[in-house]
């Protein structure tokens, strides 16, 4: 079978009509998460590397350039392409820069 | 709709899941050797595990009309333990002739260490020496990019594996290009929290085409879905794709890749002579 064209088959209007509601829900969930962080009992996670990465990723969301998913994945990735000398823990954190405490994934 | 799940850890699932998969059109699946969720304390348990993968589990699947295949290895989650690797790897050849064993997998990297790379290279060597196909696990989350690059580098440096007989699994948007460009099969994993959502999987199909790409659910003991593939097919329909294209991705492509192992058979399919 021949490769597909890289374009989405649906028109932009069809994409809006069919998928707007689920993405509306997702962005409200993200907004509520940020509000929840602001309402938390203290600000102890303000500089957590995961939140720092999340804030950088949100800037990419506002970009007009395509390739947003790949750019966000790279923001979340360990950029050092070298093996570690030994395993520090079993699980990844979801963003690069974690200290060796319990992972969430 | 008929489909084949190229990656499903059914030893971690219930019989009800086999029923759900059968009801939604699953005809065959492949269960790569997995991690138990904790590091094993002894190599001896692997004999028990390999027996389960090659004897008990195929019988459990057959009750629902599903052809069950497996890949054998020491999973990357335990590849850091070089002593364990030295004990487990010599056990594997005794099982390679079993009728449902497709090859060596899922080998690869987890936290991307020197020991994991050494174990990976040894398992690639094992596959080559015994003429086996290879299924490669790429690391999770922030480790995926560097892990995938080091895996591709290691395979290129070894140079013996035919890329067409190797699937690099769990690709995402930042790794699928290099995998396909190097001639390997790419596996997209429908595991929304830590890998790929159905919508993103369809995006990658639209961008890269249907050639040398398979999708799987990779259901296991974590938050995952044994019927992820029919939900992916539904997403493709919502996005305007023809049934022929959907069937290419979820049925014909798995047959093309897995059918390179002469033991792989699917009820009703003519392997190697065009897919019925």
Does residue A46 belong to any structural domain of this protein? yes
Phi/psi of residue A46, each to 5°?
Answer: -55, -40
pLDDT confidence band for B245 (50 / 70 / 90): very high
Interface check for A100 against chain B (CB to CB < 8 A): the answer is: no
Whether chain B has a CB inside 8 Å of the CB on A18: the answer is yes
Residue B263 covered by a domain? no
At residue B268, the pLDDT reads 80
pLDDT of the residue at A84: 95
Return the residue matching tokens 């790409």.
B213
Q: Please identify among residues 62-91 of chain A the ones whose CB lies closer than 8 Å to any CB of chain B.
A: 69-70, 73-74, 76-91
Q: How many helices (H) and strands (E) does chain A have?
A: 3, 0
- Count of domains forming chain B: 1
Q: Is B160 on the interface with A (CB under 8 A)?
A: no
The alpha-carbon gap from B125 to the nearest alpha carbon of chain A, in Å, equals 20
What average pLDDT does range B14-21 have in this prediction? 98
The ipTM, to two decimals, is 0.94
Tell me if A86 and B114 make a contact (CB, 8 A cut-off): yes
**Percent of chain A predicted with pLDDT > 90:** 84
Q: Could you tell me if residue B18 is inside a domain?
A: yes
Angle of CA points B215, B235, A2, to nearest 5°: 60
Q: Residue window 113-132, chain B: list those with CB within 8 Å of chain A.
A: 113-117
- Model confidence over B140-192: pLDDT tens digits? 999 999 999 999 999 999 999 999 999 999 999 999 999 999 999 999 999 98
> Is B221 contained in some domain?
yes
In chain A, which residues have their Cβ closer than 8 Å to the Cβ of B205?
4
Contacts of A68 (CB under 8 A, 6+ apart): A60, A61
Cβ B116–A69 below 8 Å, yes or no? Answer: no
Comparing CA positions, the residue from B90, B109, B102, B122 lying closest to residue B58 is B102
Whether residue A59 is contained in a domain is answered as yes
Does the pLDDT at position B77 exceed 50?
A: yes
To the nearest whole Å, the CA of B240 is away from the closest chain A CA by 6
pLDDT value at position A102?
41
Looking at chain B from residue 81 to 110, which residues have their Cβ under 8 Å from any Cβ of chain A?
110
Residue A101 lies in a domain: no
Q: What number is the average pLDDT over the span A90-101?
A: 79
Interchain pair B203, A69: CB under 8 A: yes
Q: Is A103 touching B (CB cutoff 8 A)? A: no
* CA distances from residue B96 to A64, B101, B220 in whole angstroms, order as listed: 52, 6, 23
Q: In what order do the strands lie in the sheet with B166-169?
A: B3-5, B26-32, B67-72, B101-108, B133-137, B166-169, B185-189, B213-216
Q: State chain B's mean pLDDT as an integer.
A: 96
As a whole number of angstroms, the distance between CA B149 and CA B153 comes to: 6
Instruction: Look at B240 and A69 and tell me if their CB atoms are within 8 Å.
Output: no
Q: How far apart are CA B93 and CA B14, in angstroms?
A: 29
Buried-state track B239-266, b at ≥16 Cβ within 10 A, e below 16: bbbeeebbbbbbbbbbbbbbbbbeebbb
B194 touches chain A (CB under 8 A): yes
A92 touches chain B (CB under 8 A): yes
Separation CA B162–CA B144 (nearest Å):
23
Instruction: Tell me the C-alpha distance between B149 and B16, whole Å.
Output: 38
B9 touches chain A (CB under 8 A): no
User: In angstroms, rounded to a whole number, what is the distance separating the alpha carbons of residues A102 and A87?
Assistant: 14
Report how far residue B249's alpha carbon sits from residue B272's, in angstroms, rounded to the nearest whole number. Answer: 17
> Cis before residue B106, ω within 30 degrees of 0?
yes
State how far the Cα of B87 lies from the Cα of B97, in Å rounded to an integer. Answer: 20
Q: Is B145 on the interface with A (CB under 8 A)?
A: yes
CA distance B120 to B155: 10
Q: Which residues pair with B166 in a beta bridge?
A: B134
Q: Do B146 and A79 touch (CB under 8 A)?
A: yes
- A78 vs B110, B116, B143: nearest CB: B143
What pLDDT digit, counting tens, does each position of B183-206 carry?
A: 999 999 999 899 999 999 999 999
Give Cα A11 distance to the centre of its chain. Answer: 26
β-sheet bridge partners, residue B167: B135, B185
3-state percent breakdown (helix, strand, coil) of chain A, nearest 5? 45, 0, 50
Give the minimum alpha-carbon distance from A75 to chain B in angstroms, rounded to a whole number. 9
For residue B29, what are the domain limits? Answer: 3-258
- State which residues form the domain around A71: 13-75
User: DSSP 3-state helix, strand, coil percentages of chain B (rounded to 5)?
Assistant: 45, 15, 35
pLDDT at residue A22, rounded to an integer: 97
Other CB atoms within a 10 A radius of the CB of residue A22 amount to: 9
Nearest CA in chain B to A83: B113
**A53: in domain:** yes
Place of tokens 């990656």: B7
Number of domains in chain A: 1
Question: Residue B204's domain is classified under what CATH number?
Answer: 3.20.20.140
Q: What is the pairing mode between strands B3-5 and B26-32?
A: parallel
The verdict on residue B267 lying in a domain is: no
Query: CA neighbours within 13 Å on the CB side: how many for B85?
Result: 20
Residue of A nearest to B35 (CA): A90
Label residue A98 by pLDDT band (50, 70, 90).
low
Which pLDDT value is given to residue B272? 62
For residues B28 and B166, give the distance between their C-alpha atoms in angstroms, rounded to a whole number.
19
Q: How far apart, in whole angstroms, are the C-alpha atoms of residue B65 and residue B72?
A: 23
pTM of the model: 0.95
Q: Do A83 and B245 touch (CB under 8 A)?
A: no
């Amino acid at each position: 079978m021949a490769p597909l064209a890289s374009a989405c088959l649906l028109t932009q209007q069809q994409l809006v009509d069919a998928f707007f509601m689920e993405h509306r829900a997702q962005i409200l969930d993200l907004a509520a998460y940020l509000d929840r962080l602001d309402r938390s009992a203290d600000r102890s996670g303000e500089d957590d590397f995961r939140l720092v990465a999340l804030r950088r990723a949100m800037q990419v969301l506002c970009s007009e350039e395509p390739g947003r998913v790949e750019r966000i994945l790279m923001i979340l990735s360990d950029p050092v392409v070298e093996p570690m000398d030994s395993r520090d823990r079993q699980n990844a954190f979801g963003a690069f820069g974690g200290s060796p405490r319990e992972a969430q994934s | 709709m008929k489909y084949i799940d190229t990656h499903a850890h059914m030893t971690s699932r219930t019989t009800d899941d086999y029923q759900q998969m059968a009801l939604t059109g699953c005809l065959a699946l492949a269960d790569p050797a997995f991690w138990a969720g904790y590091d094993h304390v002894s190599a001896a348990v692997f004999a028990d595990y390999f027996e389960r993968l090659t004897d008990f589990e195929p019988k459990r699947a057959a009750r629902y009309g599903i052809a069950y295949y497996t890949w054998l290895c020491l999973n990357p989650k335990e590849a850091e333990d070089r002593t364990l690797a030295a004990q487990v790897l010599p056990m594997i050849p005794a099982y390679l002739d079993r009728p449902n064993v497709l090859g060596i997998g899922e080998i690869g990297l987890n936290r991307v260490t020197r020991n994991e790379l050494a174990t990976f290279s040894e398992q690639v060597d094992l596959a080559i020496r015994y003429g086996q196909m290879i299924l490669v696990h790429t690391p999770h989350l922030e480790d995926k990019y560097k892990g995938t690059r080091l895996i591709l580098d290691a395979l290129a440096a070894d140079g013996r594996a035919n890329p067409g007989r190797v699937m690099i699994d769990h690709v995402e948007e930042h790794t699928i290009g290099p995998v396909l460009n190097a001639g390997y099969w790419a596996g997209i994993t429908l595991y929304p929290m830590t890998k790929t959502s159905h919508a993103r999987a369809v995006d990658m199909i639209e961008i890269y085409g249907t050639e040398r790409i398979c999708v799987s659910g990779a259901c296991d003991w974590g938050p995952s879905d044994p019927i992820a593939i029919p939900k992916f097919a539904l997403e493709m329909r919502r996005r305007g794709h023809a049934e022929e294209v959907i069937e290419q991705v979820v049925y014909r492509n798995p047959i093309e890749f897995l059918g390179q192992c002469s033991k792989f058979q699917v009820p009703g399919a003519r392997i190697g002579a065009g897919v019925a």
